[in-house]
Amino acid sequence: MLNHALMKSGRMVETWSKNGIEVVSLDDLVSLKEFSDEDIIDTTASDDLVTYLRVKYEGFAEAGDEIVTSDTNYDYLYRIHTNDIVISNIAASYGSVAIVPPELDGCVVTSEYTVLKSKEGVDPIIAWLLLRSPESRSEMLLTSTGISRTRVKWEILKTIKFPKPTPEIINQVVSLTNKANEAERLVLENRTKAKDALESPLNLNSDEAWKTLRAFKPPR
């Protein structure tokens, strides 16, 4: 069994420096997002219909449940936008860090998430992949709090050290990620087209069918 006492935070900094790699902190690359008044929703004074953002372990965001804001137990919800970097405070070490894609612009998160903005000249893709690297996630575990040592917060996150990628690495990583994103977009588009090509002409997607499904939806 691994002895936690022997695990040292920042253990790679010396190695990176010896190899001539510039070392930076997370707050050199990103800043904590300052939400505008329009993007802070007071749930005690609002009945808006909003959609939660969900961040998966795989590092991607998806639409979660739709709720009426007054139904939540949180006093405030926060509206996020394209290219924001959203981190699950309780699952960041498992990889739950995502960039908000255009189709999820306007979704909301609770205070259980940390939202970051990449600084000028820093592509959010680079910050996202650095945060999701095994070295970074192990640092989160070594410096985090909570019963299971998995809860992170900005005061700790911003001090995590990273090797600064060269322009060549950055260009390659951003290009490959953009190609992957486009391929995934085409996959989803074609799957939707295939589903519609079957369901529409055969009347397999009626309002009555959806009413039945909603009526038998299991409780949360």
Domain tally for the chain? Answer: 2
User: Side-chain half-sphere of 130: how many Cα atoms within 13 Å?
Assistant: 27
Task: Out of 118, 144, 165, pick the residue that ends a domain.
Answer: 165
Looking at the fold, whether 34 and 95 belong to one and the same domain comes out as yes
Phi and psi at 142, nearest 5°, equal -75, -20
Looking at the fold, whether 130 and 39 belong to one and the same domain comes out as yes
Give pLDDT tens digits for 14-72: 999 999 999 999 999 999 999 999 999 999 998 999 999 999 999 999 999 999 999 99
Looking at the fold, whether 155 and 60 belong to one and the same domain comes out as yes
Task: Give the rounded percent of residues in the chain with a pLDDT score beyond 70.
Answer: 94
**Where do we find the tokens 């999701």?**
132
Looking at the fold, whether 38 and 141 belong to one and the same domain comes out as yes
CATH code of residue 34 = 3.90.220.20
Give pLDDT tens digits for 103-134: 999 999 999 999 999 999 999 999 999 999 99
Looking at the fold, whether 109 and 216 belong to one and the same domain comes out as no
Q: In the predicted model, is pLDDT for residue 180 greater than 60?
A: yes
**Where do we find the tokens 């990628």?**
165
Looking at the fold, whether 58 and 123 belong to one and the same domain comes out as yes
Specify which residues 151 forms β-bridges with: 145
Q: How far is CA 219 from CA 67, 74, 128, 144, 215, in A?
A: 14, 20, 35, 34, 11
Looking at the fold, whether 143 and 70 belong to one and the same domain comes out as yes
The closest of 52, 44, 135 to 86, measured between CA atoms, is: 52
Per the structure, the complete domain to which residue 133 belongs is given by 4-165
Looking at the fold, whether 11 and 113 belong to one and the same domain comes out as yes
pLDDT band at 149 (very low <50, low <70, confident <90, very high): low
Specify which residues 85 forms β-bridges with: 99, 116
Residue 73: other Cβ atoms inside 10 A? 6
Q: Which amino acid is at 8?
A: K
Looking at the fold, whether 86 and 187 belong to one and the same domain comes out as no
The whole-model pTM stands at 0.87
Q: In the predicted model, is pLDDT for residue 146 greater than 60?
A: no
Looking at the fold, whether 31 and 92 belong to one and the same domain comes out as yes
pLDDT at 18: 96
The dihedral sign for the CA sequence 17, 167, 140, 156 = positive
pLDDT at 1: 44
Looking at the fold, whether 79 and 56 belong to one and the same domain comes out as yes
